[in-house]
Amino acid sequence: MMKELIAGAVAATAMGTMASVNVIPLPNKVVEREGSLVAQDQKALGALTVFETDAAIPAEGYRLTVSDDGVKIVSSDAAGRFYAGQTVRQLTARSGRGLVLPYVEIEDAPRFKWRGLHFDDCRHFFGKDVLMKTLDAMAYHKLNVLHWHLTEDQGWRLEIKKYPELTRKGAVRPGSPKPKCLIQPGDDGEGTSWVNNHIPYGPYYYTQDDVREIVAYAAARHITVIPEIELPGHALAAIAAYPELGCTGEQFAPWSRWGVSEHIFCGGNDQVIKFLEDVLDEVCDLFPSPIVHIGGDEAPKKMWKHCAKCQQRIKDLGLDGEEGLQGWMTRHFTEYLARKGRRAVGWDEVLDGNPGTETIIMSWRGPGGGIKAAA
């Protein structure tokens, strides 16, 4: 990897990129000139900026020139113009003279269409202010996809109007893991390296108004927000709110530890299918993203092996065991989302159950899943 980074830096320098121009990510082409442009303040700098359109520039790309004539930005779309503005922000330095920009010519366009960040709000809840600051940082570095993880064993973080118990019961857990090095006398050991601190955590969740505000804030920064609703695994918080969604009907609390719960959505229960369809209906109303993440990772099949409903579904549909049942669920919700004009993405484990070619695969366990999906 280091050799690749060095080679990339050498190649960029050969194209005219100057190391003294500190822009992240490194633009495709940078030519630095002698001199600098000085503006008294941000308002004065804005008055020097000229925008032009050139349809030949790639999507999200731009051409930026800083010279005696001011700041000239040429792009083919609003995103390119926005990213040029972020580059200007990175180039601008403050001095006793005011705001200073080096004379420079920059041409840039993204190599990757999806430039993402995965934000997990379930195990640790960050809240709206931190999320918006994260979106600002993403925009500054020209990232354009926020993958927002909203449901887990440890907490359900999204208000669903039709199922209020999801946030009343599913958004609060009775404790959190504490490293074993911090164990105090009287603590209950529940693992080899951690204990439950028995401090209630929550209720923490985003209201639907919060979500609309966040999605709009992201869109203004050319960031698409992709929600993740986990199925069939990582579902204990939902089952804690509605026990009938699990295979056993037992009452649980959201998990107070990390790891993977054996209690997943019952694949043989039509009520589960309807519940998840209802949830996805509200999700699609809140998120204009053309893509919805449906999870699919780390779904232990122990409960399904002993569940009469799951085994009956496998028999009735002629499925290839429990993995086939997960594949059936993945295809069902991929098709359900497709009818709503959305495309599903799932973790690479869904490949084990023949998810269908329309499902986008996100491979977290290594390159093998991506290679298999591409084939």
- Which amino acids are annotated catalytic? 298
**Exposed, middle or buried by CB within 10 Å (0-12, 13-18, 19+), for 242?**
middle
Tokens of 109: 């366009």
Element housing 373 (H / E):
helix 367-374
Give the length of the chain.
375
For residue 232, say if its preceding peptide bond is cis, omega within 30 degrees of 0: yes
Q: How much of the chain is helix, strand and coil, in % rounded to 5?
A: 35, 20, 40
| Angle, helices 321-339/308-317, rounded to nearest 10 degrees | 80
93: β partners: 100
- For residue 160, give the nearest of 334, 283, 271 by alpha carbon: 283
- For residue 345, give the nearest of 275, 289, 301 by alpha carbon: 289
CA 289/CA 227 separation, integer angstroms: 8
Phi, psi of 209 (to 5 degrees): -65, -40
Give residues with Cβ within 8 angstroms of 153, minimum separation 6.
234, 235, 236, 237, 254, 255, 259, 260, 261
Tokens of 341: 């004009």
Tokens of 16: 């005219």
Angle, vertex CA 145, rays to CA 215 and CA 29, nearest 5: 130
